[in-house]
Amino acid sequence: MSLTPQRTEPLSHEELYLFDTMGFVKIPNFLSRADAESCRTELLDFPSRLMEGRGDKERFDDLVVRSKNFRDLAESEAMRGFVDPVVNQPYRLIESYALRRESQSVFYLHNGNSEVLTYGEGRSVQRNMSFSHTFHDGKLFCMFIKVLVYLTDVREPDDGPFCYLQGSHKANYPWFADPDSSGRAPALTKENFPSLDHVRAEAGDAIVLNEALLHGTLPKESQGERILMAFSYAPAFVTDWKEIDLRSPSIDKLGHY
């Protein structure tokens, strides 16, 4: 059964305002509940892998490779209506996956416009340019956009909803300036993060997200599963995250092939 998005018009002026000021915008009823359940049923037949961290989390990779339905959705005019107005240049799909969580699981806060990026051995930088964004001549130019499509209801804080730090997609100072030496993230509470907020969602709803926003999920304390699909887009010139291996025998000491 092919998927039929209920929402086909592009982001409105008001929705672009919300995306610009909040770092995301929620799209209610993007898919019907019947289509959301159809996606969930198809998805659970795919192979998955367990993710490290607190609680049981499964990741289903390469959705558009495994399913024509998901590929058609990722390439649909409805999806383009969300991505075109915030990327504003030729773009491509850089990943498609789904996440399934059960009780006692959490995704800690990550990304953020000025969060410290650690890569390689002893290397770090305060600004991750892979999700930088700017505004010029009346248009937004974002480097990394994700569309989350919910396949189950996330109605209460105990259901582990999407959460974020308000304004963090425009931050100039990193929140995690001095990471805990233990490597453990602080608990996701208002006490630790005064500007923390969360978003409830129904099956079929979508969230269009600027990856520059510091975001994660609240801990899932309720029973049952929480499943969503994620489709990530970036300008066409952006490549996959993979550094050149300077130890390769095909590269000399000067980096020449």
Q: Are 159 and 107 in contact (CB under 8 A)?
A: no
Domain 18-235: CATH superfamily is q2cbj1_9rhob like domain (2.60.120.620)
Residue with tokens 């969060």: 115
Which pLDDT does position 180 carry in this prediction?
52
Comparing 39-43, 97-101, 188-192, 199-203, the range with the smallest average pLDDT is 188-192
Q: Where in the chain are the domains?
A: 18-235
Chain segment 9-57, per-residue pLDDT in tens: 999 999 999 999 999 999 999 999 999 999 999 999 999 999 876 667 8
Q: Which three-class secondary structure state does DSSP give residue 20?
A: helix
The model's pTM is: 0.91
Angstrom distance (rounded) from CA 204 to CA 226: 13
Chain segment 150-170, per-residue pLDDT in tens: 999 999 999 999 999 999 999
Which H helix or E strand runs over 85? helix 77-87
Which of 147, 146, 148, 150 minimizes the C-alpha distance to 40?
150
Q: What is the mean pLDDT of the chain?
A: 90
Chain segment 84-100, per-residue pLDDT in tens: 999 999 999 999 999 99
Calculate ∠ Cα 171-173-174, nearest 5°: 95
